[in-house]
Amino acid sequence: MSILPLTCSEVVLNVCRVIFLTFTYFTARVFIGMSLACIMLTCGVGNFLFIVLLIRCSKLRTVTNLLIANLAVSDLIVAVICCPFEMDYYVVKELSWSFGQLLCSSVNYLRTVSLYVSTNALLAIAVDRYLVIVHPLKPRMKYQTAYCVLAGVWLISILIALPSAYFTTETMFGTFKEAPGVTNQKVYCVQIWTADKALFYKSYFLFLFAVEFLLPVVAMSCCYIQICRELWFKDLPGIQTEQLRNRLRARRKTVLVLVGILTMYILCWTPYYTFSIVRDFFPSLLLKVTHSVSLYYVVECFAMINSVINTIFFIFIKNNTGKYVKKVLLRRWKPVQAPEKTAVDCPSSLQPGIE
């Protein structure tokens, strides 16, 4: 059998293709690595500090901050437990799982639960703000109600994420096609749904898309639209004192932050759900995409970055966590220390929560 020699142009095209694939794969690894490192640092440190302060600071224990603490716990789980394994899997081992079947299912399940808890917590915060601002005469949410809401958020997330744990498994491949020239055996940690369960999987995905993205976005948008109408387009009765005007300005700033958080949530999660819909319902569109695996992990990591945004806005900006940590450290460095208490009052200059 004779082998036809490649022309100069074909050689150049092949070399360019290899360089392009290698660069694309390297760029994806760098993006994923930097994103996971940012999540571990920001969400790990920020949410841990907020939870500790919530335990020690009596003035921080508002109903709204309990809802934010729910969000903080879920993001902390992702940062401390899930991200280190994913850093090893995605970046260090270049998509090769080496921790066994149990951890494969557990890490994927914890990440899925935490991400759904974040979504449901954001929805609970939006509803809480809606009730406080649009219906101020109605009784505010009590602590018992808040704890029931928290329990419901976790219970719903735990239940609807169970299929992801059941169908997540280790799968062995001989060649990793995303990195040209790499022929060593790879062990993927992925969800595998057999052909006879394809209809169930598509139904399950559409259910998740509706319950954990579409409906929460619509509900949060409706809440914030009503809040904006109340704060910007409704005349306040009676005499407006300086105190009332300051309170109105503060609430408007808070609502703008919350609208920004909702906008970033949509921007972070839309690429993930769009890619998933194309992959599951229009797979032929991805056949020409040579780096589709890397693209999926990039959009998945981009969605997880939403946890960083939540931490920055809820923990550091609206709750002044950084300022309070600084005050606590300065207080401890003083030569004369006050007796330790189980619960510490916040300094009066720090206004807790989202009001």
More confident residue, 288 or 225: 225
- Please report, as a single letter, which amino acid is at residue 290: T
Q: What's the pLDDT score for residue 49? A: 87
Q: What's the pLDDT score for residue 251? A: 79
User: Do 32 and 298 form a contact (C-beta atoms < 8 A)?
Assistant: yes
Residue 203, classified by CB atoms within 10 Å of its CB into exposed (0-12), middle (13-18) or buried (19+), is exposed
Q: What's the pLDDT score for residue 82? A: 92
Instruction: State pTM to two decimals.
Output: 0.81
How far is residue 248's CA from residue 281's CA, in Å, rounded to a whole number? Answer: 47
Mean pLDDT, the chain, rounded, equals 80
pLDDT tier at 1, thresholds 50, 70, 90: very low
Q: What's the pLDDT score for residue 226? A: 92
Q: Taking residues 266-291, what's their average pLDDT?
A: 86
Q: Which of 17-21, 114-118, 181-185, 349-353 has the lowest mean pLDDT?
A: 17-21
Q: What's the pLDDT score for residue 237? A: 62
Q: What's the pLDDT score for residue 34? A: 92
Tell me the percentage of the chain whose pLDDT exceeds 70. Answer: 76
Q: Which of 67-76, 221-230, 250-259, 312-321 has the lowest mean pLDDT?
A: 312-321
Structural domains of the chain, with CATH = 16-319 (1.20.1070.10)
pLDDT tier at 235, thresholds 50, 70, 90: low
Residue 284: pLDDT above 70? yes
Residue 213: pLDDT above 60? yes
Q: What's the pLDDT score for residue 243? A: 75
How far is residue 55's CA from residue 258's CA, in Å, rounded to a whole number? Answer: 24
Give per-residue pLDDT as tens, 330-354: 666 665 444 554 445 554 444 445 5
Q: Which of 159-173, 256-270, 284-298 has the lowest mean pLDDT?
A: 284-298
Q: What's the pLDDT score for residue 318? A: 67
Q: Taking residues 185-208, what's their average pLDDT?
A: 88
Q: Taking residues 199-216, what's their average pLDDT?
A: 94
